[in-house]
Amino acid sequence: MSKSITAEDLNVYYGDFRAVADVNIEIAPRSVTAFIGPSGCGKTTFLRSLNRMHEEVPGARVKGDLYLDDDNIYAPGVDPVTVRSMVGMVFQRPNPFPTMSVRENVLAGHKLNGTRMSKSEADDIVEKALRGANLFNEVKDRMDRPGSGLSGGQQQRLCIARTVAVEPDVILMDEPCSALDPISTLAIEDLIADLKEDYTVVIVTHNMQQAARVSEKTAFFNIAGVGEPGKMVEYDQTSVIFNNPSNEQTERYVAGKFG
Ligand SMILES: Nc1ncnc2c1ncn2[C@@H]1O[C@H](COP(=O)(O)OP(=O)(O)OP(=O)(O)O)[C@@H](O)[C@H]1O
């Protein structure tokens, strides 16, 4: 559980268009890293390359190497489905399976993987995952009701429970709070602090206060202009990025001067 992520000269393409260029980054296990930067600089694209979700887009591809600990997830013969079971993802909009109950949603990943288990094993997994997502107490009396009947913030925590239920090494979050109210946002931010005890967490956020609150390290991405690739401009301790960045572009961005 919890692995480091190392990208070496990673380039991400949509067909001929290079959306992200030459990223080199090392992300420590059991940490929270935020990706920030203006719209279109490639944060989501790079995030999705970390679990090979990117290649779901026809024509999309990656050049370079990406390691989970010492294993290159882009090596020939590596099954992207296996990679995605090790590197879970939480999306912008909570997306529980609408026809499934709370319990079935939590077990969805195991069902997809064809894991066989007894009812009591399943009960344990459900309770542990819901506790891990700070949701158990709120849903323990409605396990068999539809997941889509929960509030937006509860649905997002249900999606996090679904992700942690399969015990990944890494959890990627793509603006996980952008559809949530401030109270639900705080609940997710608290949860992120807990998740880093067990997982490597990477979060894309437009909210700089959120990046400052939840992450230990921050990567600032930028883009030189339309049609140009996004690049990682600076990567450092979050406090350095926000208070004493070494790059002038970072300084202007965190000061709110563009983006
Ligand atoms: N499916 C796609 N097909 C082609 N180009 C795409 C696709 N998705 C994104 N792009 C392009 O890749 C570049 C990076 O987009 P991406 O969504 O990764 O940026 P971002 O920094 O996450 O932006 P935002 O903050 O607005 O979400 C943009 O030029 C975008 O238009």
Residue carrying structure tokens 């992450």: 215
Instruction: Quote the pLDDT of residue 197.
Output: 95
Query: What are the beta bridge partners of residue 21?
Result: 231
Give the span between the Cα atoms of 115 and 172, in whole angstroms. 23
Residue 119 Cα to ligand 1 midpoint, Å, equals 43
Secondary structure of residue 14 in the 3-state scheme: strand
pLDDT tens-place values along the chain, 259 residues long: 799 999 999 999 999 999 999 999 999 999 999 999 999 999 999 999 999 999 999 999 999 999 999 999 999 999 999 999 999 999 999 999 999 999 999 999 999 888 899 999 999 999 999 999 999 999 999 999 999 999 999 999 999 999 999 999 999 999 999 988 898 899 899 999 999 999 999 999 999 999 999 999 999 999 999 899 999 999 999 999 999 999 999 999 999 988 7
Instruction: Quote the pLDDT of residue 216.
Output: 98
In SS3 terms, 178-205 reads as CCCCHHHHHHHHHHHHHHCCCCEEEEEC
Residue 214 Cα to ligand 1 midpoint, Å, equals 24
Q: What's the angle, vertex CA 37, arms to CA 52 and CA 155, rounded to 5?
A: 60
Predicted TM-score (pTM) above 0.80: yes
Give the span between the Cα atoms of 3 and 64, in whole angstroms. 19
Instruction: Quote the pLDDT of residue 258.
Output: 85
Residue 42 Cα to ligand 1 midpoint, Å, equals 6
- How high is the ipTM of this complex? 0.98
User: Which of 23, 43, 202 for a ligand 1 pocket mutation test, highest count of atoms within 8 Å of Cβ?
Assistant: 43
Domain ranges for the chain, please list them. 5-92+170-254
Q: Which residues line ligand 1 (CB under 6 A)?
A: 14, 19, 37, 39-45, 57, 230
| Token pair belonging to 114 | 């064809």
Secondary structure of residue 5 in the 3-state scheme: strand
5-92+170-254 fold: Rossmann fold (3.40.50)
